[in-house]
Amino acid sequence: MPELPEIVTYLDAIDRHVGGDVLEEVRVRSFALLRTYDPPVDALFGKRLAGLRRMGKRIVFEFEDDLFAVLHLMVAGRLHWHTERKKIPAKVGLAAFDFSRGTLMLTEAGTKRRASLHVVRGEDALHHLDPGGIEIDTATLGEFTAALTAERHTLKRALSDARRISGIGGAFGDEIMHAARLSPMQMNTNLTPDEIERLFAACRSTLEKWVAIRREDTGDGFPEKVTAFHPRMAVHGKFNEPCPVCGTPIQRIVYASRETNYCPGCQTNGKILADRSLSRLLKDDWPKTIEDLES
């Protein structure tokens, strides 16, 4: 799922390509995409794109007449830029936003259609779509502490709760916890004040770093390679590769379609965390420490 760094990069690119432009038409191929009917999507036709903003992991298009289009890409939704109007792809295409200078094409890989588009009028209606998480770059340490510990969860889940903390998902959650040297399975309510402060600093530095990397990768173009994995990531998607800090092989926990990556050397004092599926299968053969893993 595109997270804060990717959404910021999309916003930069959209503004460069169509900021201040007029939206001529929205062609919708998948009506599962539309989650509102009043105002209708054609209320946007002929309106100037007055601004853009991020709301959690959502892209907000601000149009004239107090109209907003709120796009949530979910896991597999992606945007593409075309200088000429093109036919919406048959298998993955969801919609096309035709501006006077070109087209933003929305696609979604896979068979599940999770991406959503809301069209609303007024700031009050827009506010109802905001999950409410704090923004890391403007929050105080006290606000971060309150949001992080509002409900008892593992650290991985607490960081990715959009109702509490904005813009962080699985990929950057892994990177942040590695930078903070904290276990993803540690309970958020068991953190010491020093650990919370370390985590807060890691959130800020990691997100700032990755916004810069994503912007560097995109340059003056449009972000076309938005994936959950990147060669410069420390742990996410790096299973069995050496940790860039201590050299320990990166480990993972897989549950359903979700994966958590971590370094036992940096984050868990050498302990290998149990993977629900593999540990059940291997039982006593499941490695418990780095030494077991290496042997």
pLDDT score, position 30: 87
pLDDT score, position 294: 38
Q: 218: closest CA among 45, 43, 12? A: 12
pLDDT score, position 291: 44
What structural domains does the chain harbor? Answer: 4-127 (3.20.190.10), 141-294 (1.10.8.50)
Tell me: pLDDT of 285 over 90.
no
- Over the stretch 153-177, which tens digit does the pLDDT of each residue have? 999 999 999 999 999 999 999 999 9
Helix (H, G, I), strand (E, B) or coil at 69: strand
* Alpha helices (H) in 189-273, listed in sequence order: 193-218, 264-267
Q: Which amino acid is at 63?
A: F
DSSP per position, 21-37 = -EEEEEEES-TTSB---
Tokens of 205: 């530095």
Q: φ and ψ at 212, to 5 degrees?
A: -65, -40
Helix (H, G, I), strand (E, B) or coil at 260: strand
Q: Which amino acid is at 81?
A: W
pLDDT score, position 274: 78
**pLDDT average, residue stretch 45-72:** 98
First to last CA, the chain: 36
pTM of the model: 0.91
| Longest distance between any two alpha carbons in the chain, whole Å | 66
Question: What distance in Å separates the CA atoms of residue 55 and residue 60, rounded to the nearest whole number?
Answer: 7
